[in-house]
Amino acid sequence: MKLLYCGDIMGKSGRDAVASHLPALRARLGLDFVVACGENAAHGFGITAAICEELFKLGVDVITLGNHAWDQREIIDYIKQQPKLLRPLNFPPGTPGQGSGLYVTEAGQKVFVAQVICRLFMEAADDPFRAVKSAIDTQSLPATVHAAILDIHGEATSEKAGLAYLADGRISMAVGSHAHIPTADARIMPGGTAFQTDAGMCGDFDSIIGMKKELAMHRFTNRVPGQRLEPATGEGTMCGVYVETNDATGLAVRIEPVRVGGILKQAVPG
């Protein structure tokens, strides 16, 4: 299978980048399944039902959230009836929505997707390691699913790597989100799981992690509260991770970074 994970979509610049590049990439690479982190899609804070529907029409199959999941309150009702929108697995019991799901491609292939939120330097959450193990115990490559994808939403690179190694050999790909900066460590781990610590963001990189740099700099250099942070509005780069799997095993045989548009050095799988 050919899989694409798109990093955190940051405001309108990020949405425009996805709109400009995803349909062409989906056709060019023959993508079977696309996951995107949408937790910053609504002006940098959360996501709305309308934006979700827009992303689905562009070719995103599943949207994940993160620590900004509930910034737009309307999404609480929407997520209850939209299985293609996932919040972290390890939110407390009773939280609306679901943290994982099983999906079927147009070709009839089954894909399992899960998201977990980390704890280091983040708000309190249930044990991510226990949550990931419980989730992947429900599926088996290639017996019950053709591919399995884990979005690891967190600050600490160490914790992301630990969760990826926990799942190594049992899922197709594990990709980090939240940091908004693409890491240079794309690789296939010993057990056959593709991993990149952070996919980066879909947004304007002439910024400070997607926010207007002058507003962020004011916060860094002054002790007086300033204007609320706002997403940068220049041309965005669509950052992501491309993975190919062995159809017989569901494990990865190739992983490549994706960077299209904007000011970053371009990287598109050949």
* Residues marked as catalytic: 68
Q: At 55, list the tokens.
A: 């992303």
Counting Cα atoms < 13 Å in the Cβ hemisphere of 97 gives 26
Residue 119 CB neighbours (<10 A): 18
Helix (H, G, I), strand (E, B) or coil at 101: strand
Residues 257, 150: contact at Cβ < 8 Å? Answer: no
Residues 173, 193: contact at Cβ < 8 Å? Answer: yes
Residues 80, 250: contact at Cβ < 8 Å? Answer: no
Counting Cα atoms < 13 Å in the Cβ hemisphere of 9 gives 30
Among residues 102, 20, 16, the alpha carbon closest in space to that of 61 is found at 102
Q: Residue 223 class from Cβ within 10 Å (0-12 exposed, 13-18 middle, 19+ buried)?
A: exposed
Q: At 114, list the tokens.
A: 């899960």
Q: At 71, list the tokens.
A: 């910034």
State the residue for tokens 């099983």: 102
For residue 155, the 8-state DSSP code is S
Q: At 157, list the tokens.
A: 């690179």
